[in-house]
With several copies, the nearest count.
Chain A
């Protein structure tokens, strides 16, 4: 009934005593996520939000049986925080931190893969399985349990789309923001494969943007491996080339990564691409009716 996080997620928050970590840990707890511990080096033995704080992720995992982490540490410490979570054996690692150098992420990814861990992000809003677990900063109030999987490179644009789905009575299995950086731990294909394998996801909304070729590769993957109904949206049709549009990964460089190419490719393999955000729900409703 979900991908990556659910009721069995036992979450440690790395950077829980920081401003963002503390605020969002509270929000996650309020949503009902099983947050079991926080980690801040040097504050081991204290408590935060009623949770035990540990000096290391290894200690937190050992003492609390945590199996997932949400990272809110400064950019300079993010790669090390991810590797610490990997080393502690956590299977799902969500890195919210933005501004992580690409060289750091290049170095982290082979370790993450070798350990068989799942990294989501960095520079992402995280993910939420409505009614079960919220890991990251997505607002809990806009989602509803259901059977549409949502995967997106954006933050607030995802909220916009999820909110429209919820208002239209289309609940979600899991909503996941994979992040806007050039190097990310989990991409569209990873999420599409997981949604396809999830017996309770019945349709997928995929929100891409300019930069890179992930959407094109996702289109090929869907054509070959996904039989769920999929609707796409691509942001940045009018973005000028060579300019970074906020996200580090959202840049048309060397003529590659344009919205037009992505939309064309998705169209080629038969995936409807909504022209504007408010058309996403109607396009989905054309090809998908939720089971009673």
Chain B
């Protein structure tokens, strides 16, 4: 899960990280008022959308005082950035920049622990730096139990800076770690952390992503979820306990298990078709879940055929078939449905399906090819 810059800044502020003041505006007039409240000097008006590259897209602009802030907000509010409409802007004082640094803490899968990444190359895309000039990044593994020790932070900070600036940076690193740890983040980033010509240090951008598995114990953070982060179907699926990702094709898929769901999606493409989604309906085969899944999938007008790919495993296939038939009965569906069921009692299941308009298939390959053909208007 992601949150907005202004929310990440709030979490950073709680830890003591120096973040410039600022507030969120939903209208140009509010933006003007905030700029005035901030003293009337130059401000930055920053679109709050959950995608990267806001700056390049024109979603971050300098404004010289309240009137310009209003005009700038007017231009930015309503903009579309990578498909997302800007409904909020953060208005925050502009800071003079002498130097820009990068600070980030991210889960390192190979090391099975978080790492602090520090670089004097701030303000740019850190993944680009990692690719082109990895020696410009200092990597500090963080002991998952001991946490980031202040001395480790100092070692990293004095590697990229010096004097009072480095000492402040080291304190900010520990505060960033505290933020990361406290909210079950898997990414916490300040890019850039700036030094002003006068030697002040400020976190002028802020980003935190969360470990979805940690959200159960982070009720405040979970409540900050912006539905605009995902298409509405994905939010609805999540609420129903389904793992769903929308794609652009015409074959809707319902699969049990994430790996099998990915493989099904791949197989559709392999046989020249186009999957409409990734959908893992999980271990249970309750008709309620299937109905919700069918509802979400068929709302997409592109979907011309639906494919069930279920490896029954321990669950009896006839039970699964009965669940699908019940769901199909409750949902009003116009497109053909191909069902492939493997596992205990798969013959009984096929007999059950034979009495319906569901199209049975024996193998994954057969099921996928049938679904593609049907989606393209062919016959079962």
Contacts and interface: CB of A to CB of B under 8 A. Distances in A.
A87 interface: yes
B216 A75 contact: yes
Interface in A230-244: 233, 235-240, 243-244
A183 B112 contact: yes
A246 B258 contact: yes
A182 interface: yes
Interface string B182-208: 001010000000000000000000000
B295 to A, nearest CB: 19
A187 B356 CA distance: 44
Q: Interface extent on A, as a size class?
A: 35 or more
Nearest to B150: A80
B116 interface: no
Given A80-B150, A139-B343, A250 B214 contact: no
Nearest to B125: A254
Interface stretch (A96-104, A193-201, A220-228, A284-292): A96-104
B345 to A, nearest CB: 10
A51 to B, nearest CB: 18
A41 interface: yes
B313 interface: yes
Contact of B155 (A58, A183, A243, A244): A58
A276 B365 contact: yes
A156 B257 contact: yes
B229 to A, nearest CB: 11
Contact of B259 (A105, A107, A163, A209): A209
Most buried by A among B107, B184, B259: B259
A159 B341 CA distance: 12
Contacts of B84: none
A261 interface: no
A76 B217 CA distance: 8
Interface in A130-184: 137-139, 141-142, 152-160, 163, 180-183
Given A42-B163, A57-B151, A139-B343, A180 B262 contact: no
Contacts of A259: 266
Nearest to A106: B144
Contact of B158 (A56, A87, A99, A247): A56
A41 B181 CA distance: 25
B269 interface: yes
A55 interface: yes
A283 interface: no
A77 interface: yes
Nearest to A180: B258
B235 to A, nearest CB: 14
Interface in B151-186: 151-152, 154-155, 158, 162-164, 166-167, 170, 181, 184, 186
A210 B311 contact: no
Given A106-B114, A209-B259, A238-B275, A75 B127 contact: no
Q: Interface extent on B, as a size class?
A: 35 or more
Interface string B138-152: 000001111001111
A183 B111 CA distance: 9
B211 interface: yes
A275 interface: yes
Nearest to A255: B127
B154 A55 contact: yes
A47 interface: no
Given A102-B107, A107-B145, A41 B266 contact: no
A55 B213 contact: no
A212 B155 CA distance: 28
A137 B314 contact: yes
Interface in A196-219: 207, 209-210, 212-214, 217
A238 B127 contact: no
B254 interface: no
A248 B211 CA distance: 8
Contacts of A163: 311, 342
A159 B158 contact: no
17 contacts: A42-B163, A75-B213, A81-B151, A101-B184, A138-B313, A142-B343, A154-B258, A154-B259, A154-B260, A157-B311, A183-B112, A209-B258, A238-B247, A239-B262, A240-B245, A245-B258, A246-B257
